[in-house]
């Protein structure tokens, strides 16, 4: 059935019926505003992301269920990057009136299952007709104990720079798709169904291990530069230490240029954080507990926001940051 035959209010009702209210929800979908509570002594964390068809995704390359998954995962990643716990979700949805309910239903399935995985409840949103592209706005609210949220501005000289998972897989998948080459399933999954490091973020916050943190959405270099500038420190990373998946290495072995994607490619949704050296052992223990690779890739130094890269020959050079910018580097 098409949305023009279903109508806005039946659509909202179908969304509402798929939601199971979770902890802290006094009123969810169906009133003028949601009524929610937070654990005592917590501050509210809020983050919003927009996803526009043909800017962030192409319906020819992704299925609607993966799109729903990704729309939620990228938001959860922002709460993780503050060391918080995600709790509530809002969904703004604009689609052409000819859109099939089955596509919306698949989108919801992806979005709601990703939210449920972390006990996050959909509590509201807005629905309208779009004259053309799909537009999706996802807002997530979470919380962290008062004054414990981890910002981008806490890095200190001597901190180790650490990153979870592997870098560049999502950007490599996109690069292959753009060149008409079918990426390996593991690369495609990194692009279409990224994993937000929700548990790692929460534990780094709870155990007060990270002094600064950001999630990598615009590329390692770009996002690390945000930490360096916010903290007014320099950072040096070592090319040979960047964590790469086996699949990524295989491609880079035949095409060394692709290594740039580990530095500047976007949408890894890994956590990038800095840790006082005396806390490194506790981070290593987390890495085992979560069965997640965490790699020290460099060090914070006194300075004013400059990032440099130590290449494999041992020479250091400033990094030209080339991550995604919607208005001047697209």
Q: Which is nearer to ligand ADP, 112 or 297 (by Cβ)? A: 112
Pull the structure tokens for residue 25: 């929800």
Q: Give the dihedral sign, CA 62/68/71/75.
A: negative
Binding ligand ADP by CB under 6 A: which of 127, 130, 207, 301?
Answer: 127
Answer yes or no whether residue 186 interacts with ligand ADP by CB under 6 A: no
Least distance (Å) between residue 129 CB and Mg ion: 12
Sites for ligand ADP among residues 268-287 (CB under 6 A): none
* CA distances in angstroms from 121 to 82, 111, 143, 291, listed in the order given: 19, 10, 14, 27
Q: Is 73 helix (H, G, I), strand (E, B) or coil?
A: helix
Segment lying near Mg ion (by CB under 5 A), choices 41-49, 114-122, 125-133, 238-246: 125-133
Nearest residue to the partner Mg ion, using Cβ = 126
Q: Under the criterion CB under 6 A, does residue 126 sit at the interface with ligand ADP?
A: yes
Which of 120, 122, 227, 233 touches ligand ADP by CB under 6 A? Answer: 122
Contact string 72-101 vs ligand ADP (x = CB under 6 A) = -------------------x-x--------
Number of residues interacting with ligand ADP: please give it, by CB under 6 A.
Answer: 13
Q: In Å, how far are 79, 117, 133, 191, 319 from 76, measured between CA atoms?
A: 5, 11, 24, 16, 29
Q: Smallest gap, in angstroms, from Cβ of residue 285 to ligand ADP? A: 39
Instruction: Assess 7 for contact with ligand ADP (CB under 6 A).
Output: no
- Lookup result for tokens 């987390």: 286
Of 90 and 118, the one with the shorter C-beta distance to Mg ion is: 90
Which one of residues 21, 126, 186, 311 is an interface residue with Mg ion (CB under 5 A)?
A: 126
Stretch that binds ligand ADP, among 24-32, 56-64, 257-265, 284-292 (CB under 6 A): 24-32
d(CA 181, CA 246): 18
DSSP state for residue 87 in the 8-state scheme:
E
Q: Which among 224, 215, 200, 214 has a CA at the least distance from the CA of 282?
A: 200
Instruction: Kindly list the distances between the CA atom of residue 129 and the CA atoms of 3, 11, 92, 220, in Å, as whole numbers in the listed order.
Output: 9, 12, 11, 36
- The count of chain residues that interact with Mg ion, using the rule CB under 5 A, is 1
Spatial distance between the Cα atoms of 328 and 308, rounded to a whole number of angstroms: 22
The residue ranges that bind Mg ion (CB under 5 A) are: 126
Binding site for ligand ADP (CB under 6 A): 12, 15, 29-32, 91, 93, 122, 124-127
């Amino acid at each position: 059935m098409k949305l023009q035959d279903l109508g806005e209010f039946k659509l909202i009702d179908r969304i509402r019926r798929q939601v199971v209210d979770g902890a802290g929800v006094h009123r969810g979908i169906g009133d003028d505003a949601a009524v929610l509570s937070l654990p005592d002594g917590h501050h509210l964390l809020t983050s919003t992301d927009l996803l526009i068809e043909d800017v962030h995704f192409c319906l020819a390359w992704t299925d609607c269920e993966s799109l729903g998954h990704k729309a939620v995962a990228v938001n959860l990643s922002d709460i993780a990057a503050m060391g918080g716990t995600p709790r509530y979700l809002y969904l703004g949805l604009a689609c052409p009136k000819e859109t099939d309910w089955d596509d919306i239903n698949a989108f919801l399935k992806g979005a709601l299952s990703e939210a449920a995985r972390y006990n996050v409840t959909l509590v509201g949103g807005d629905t309208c007709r779009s004259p053309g592209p799909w537009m999706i706005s996802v807002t997530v609210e979470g919380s962290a104990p008062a004054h414990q949220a981890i910002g981008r501005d806490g890095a200190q000289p001597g901190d180790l720079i650490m990153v979870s998972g592997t870098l560049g897989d999502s950007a490599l998948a996109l690069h292959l798709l753009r060149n008409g080459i079918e990426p390996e399933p593991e690369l495609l999954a990194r692009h279409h169904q990224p994993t937000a490091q929700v548990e790692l973020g929460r534990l780094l916050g709870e155990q007060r291990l990270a002094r600064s943190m950001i999630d990598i959405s615009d590329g390692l270099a770009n996002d690390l530069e945000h930490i360096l500038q916010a903290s007014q420190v320099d950072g040096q990373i070592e090319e040979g230490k960047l964590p790469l998946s086996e699949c990524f290495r295989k491609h880079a072995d035949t095409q060394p240029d692709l290594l740039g994607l580990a530095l500047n490619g976007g949408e890894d949704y890994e956590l990038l954080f800095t840790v006082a050296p005396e806390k490194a052992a506790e981070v290593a223990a987390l890495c085992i507990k979560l069965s997640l690779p965490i790699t020290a890739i460099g060090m914070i130094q006194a300075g004013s926001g400059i990032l440099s890269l130590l290449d494999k020959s041992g020479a250091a050079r400033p990094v030209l940051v080339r991550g995604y910018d919607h208005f001047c580097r697209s």
